[in-house]
């Protein structure tokens, strides 16, 4: 019994009064609205917090404390149906020991990200995506030098211009995850981006980026996810694919690329997701898949689950070996100038949930048995 008493008494005290108060006041500054979160199973984590004065906030839903110090180090309020404004007076910024913060999938009504974010200097993970923030991302976010994961999009009115992307990547050198999907950046890719040697997830989709793709992106050989879709990149897809052998997700769709898809693409043997659709320049020149051809791509990239080559000029028949992509769930080859007949082997793709081979030049239409 003495031993049991000793174990129980050695437990850290209940959470600190100032942190409990900061959490409760943060909760009270916002309302709960089911429509504020898009996730179908979203629920209000904060409504379950204990309002009693002696409640242990370390046991509250979404809150995690350091077992040794008792300080709140993690706050995960993802999909918590939170609605309202966050401003510089928010007690959220009193939680100075936070290392992990997610407010993703809530609705903060166009709030600007307060400069007081700099108070959370211990953060290694910050996720404010899908939460309706607006305005210029404050320069103070560059002071969060310990960040390894940063997700700020997609929000239609969020900007990263002064400071810009170059300043961000120069300061946040420990990043492994950078997701700025649909943040208005309006610049070219800065060369210093390729200095983020630990980066494994990069999404700069729909960021109003322009210019050409840096050949030096090939230095980011730890990347597993690369999304540069829906920008204004021009030219050809060339050398940057070198050494990106760990890529599982590559999306370059919706740009202005043209010319031949390079043979280096075939070396990305880990690819599960490939989208090169919707590329053409101002005079209608599009991407081409000739040498290598579709058969070479299918034979090499055997792990594909998603393949979208809409508008890519293929000008060949569908190879029989396409039926060997047994994991394929999404296949779109619309308007690719395909010809010949559709091979029976396509019917072997029993996991397909989406198939689009419209606007081509097939000579015979056939029934494809086996498709679920």
How many other β-carbons are positioned within 10 Å of the β-carbon of residue 209? Answer: 22
pLDDT single digits (tens) 310-346? 999 999 999 999 999 999 999 999 999 999 999 999 9
Residue 2 lies in a domain: no
Residue 112 counted as domain residue: yes
Residue ranges making up the domain that contains 255: 73-356
Domain of residue 293, CATH code: 3.80.10.10
Q: What is the pLDDT of residues 41-67, one digit of tens each?
A: 999 999 989 776 557 999 999 999 999
Question: Which residues, in sequence order, are CB contacts of 100 under 8 Å at separation 6+?
Answer: 64, 73, 74, 75, 76, 123, 124, 125
- State the pLDDT at residue 7: 43
- Residues contacting residue 131 through CB under 8 Å, at least 6 positions apart: 103, 104, 105, 106, 107, 108, 155
Q: Is residue 262 part of a domain?
A: yes
Tens digits of residue pLDDT in 103-140: 999 999 999 999 999 999 999 999 999 999 999 999 99
Confidence at 369, pLDDT banded by 50, 70, 90: low
Query: Does the pLDDT at position 11 exceed 70?
Result: no
What SS3 state is found at 353?
A: coil
Average pLDDT estimate for 299-308: 98
Report whether pLDDT(154) > 60. Answer: yes
CA angle 189, 193, 197 (to 5 degrees): 150
- 248-269 pLDDT, tens digit per residue, is 999 999 999 999 999 999 999 9
- Statement: residue 244 has pLDDT above 60: yes
CA atoms within 13 A on the CB side of 260: 9
Work out the pLDDT band at 156, boundaries 50, 70, 90: low
Residue 203 placed within a domain: yes
Number of domains in the chain: 1
In which band, very low, low, confident or very high, does the pLDDT at 302 lie, cut at 50, 70 and 90? very high
Phi and psi angles of residue 146, each rounded to the nearest 5 degrees, phi first: -90, 0
Q: Is residue 35 part of a domain?
A: no
Q: Where is average pLDDT lowest: 131-135, 190-194, 283-287?
A: 283-287
Task: Answer whether residue 206 shows pLDDT above 50.
Answer: yes
Residue 127 lies in a domain: yes
Lowest mean pLDDT among 79-93, 98-112, 276-290: 276-290
> Do 345 and 323 touch, CB atoms closer than 8 A?
yes
SS3 225: strand
pLDDT band with cut points at 50, 70 and 90 for residue 4? very low
**H or E, element range at 101:** strand 100-102
The reply to whether 134 falls in a domain is: yes
Instruction: Specify the pLDDT at position 372.
Output: 53
Please tell me the pTM assigned to this model: 0.93
């Amino acid at each position: 019994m003495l031993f049991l008493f000793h174990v129980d008494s050695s437990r850290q005290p209940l959470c600190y009064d100032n942190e409990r108060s900061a959490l409760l006041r943060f909760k009270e500054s916002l309302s709960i609205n089911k429509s504020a979160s898009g996730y179908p199973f979203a629920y209000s984590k904060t409504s379950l917090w204990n309002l009693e004065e002696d409640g242990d906030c370390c046991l509250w839903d979404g809150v995690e404390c350091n077992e040794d110090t008792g300080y709140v180090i993690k706050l995960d309020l993802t999909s918590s149906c939170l609605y309202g404004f966050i401003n510089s007076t928010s007690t959220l910024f009193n939680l100075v020991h936070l290392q992990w913060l997610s407010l993703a999938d809530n609705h903060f009504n166009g709030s600007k990200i307060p400069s007081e974010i700099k108070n959370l200097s211990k953060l290694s993970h910050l996720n404010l995506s899908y939460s309706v923030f607006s305005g210029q991302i404050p320069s103070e976010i560059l002071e969060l030098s310990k960040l390894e994961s940063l997700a700020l999009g997609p929000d239609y009115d969020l900007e990263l211009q002064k400071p810009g992307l170059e300043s961000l990547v120069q300061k946040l050198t420990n990043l492994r995850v950078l997701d700025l999907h649909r943040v208005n950046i309006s610049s070219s890719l800065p060369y210093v981006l390729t200095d983020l040697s630990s980066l494994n997830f990069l999404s700069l989709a729909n960021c109003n980026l322009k210019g050409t793709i840096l050949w030096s992106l090939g230095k980011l050989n730890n990347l597993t996810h690369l999304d540069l879709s829906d920008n204004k990149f021009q030219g050809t897809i060339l050398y940057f694919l070198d050494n990106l052998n760990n890529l599982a997700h590559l999306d370059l769709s919706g740009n202005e690329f043209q010319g031949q898809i390079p043979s280096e693409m075939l070396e990305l043997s880990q690819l599960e997701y490939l989208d090169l659709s919707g590329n053409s320049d101002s005079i209608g020149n599009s991407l081409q898949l000739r040498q290598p051809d579709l058969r070479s791509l299918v034979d090499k990239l055997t792990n594909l689950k998603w393949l979208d080559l809409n508008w890519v000029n293929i000008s060949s028949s569908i190879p029989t070996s396409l039926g060997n992509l047994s994991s394929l769930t999404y296949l779109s080859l619309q308007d690719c100038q395909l010809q010949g007949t559709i091979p029976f082997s396509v019917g072997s793709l029993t996991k397909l949930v989406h198939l689009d081979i419209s606007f081509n030049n097939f000579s015979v239409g056939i029934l494809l048995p086996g498709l679920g």
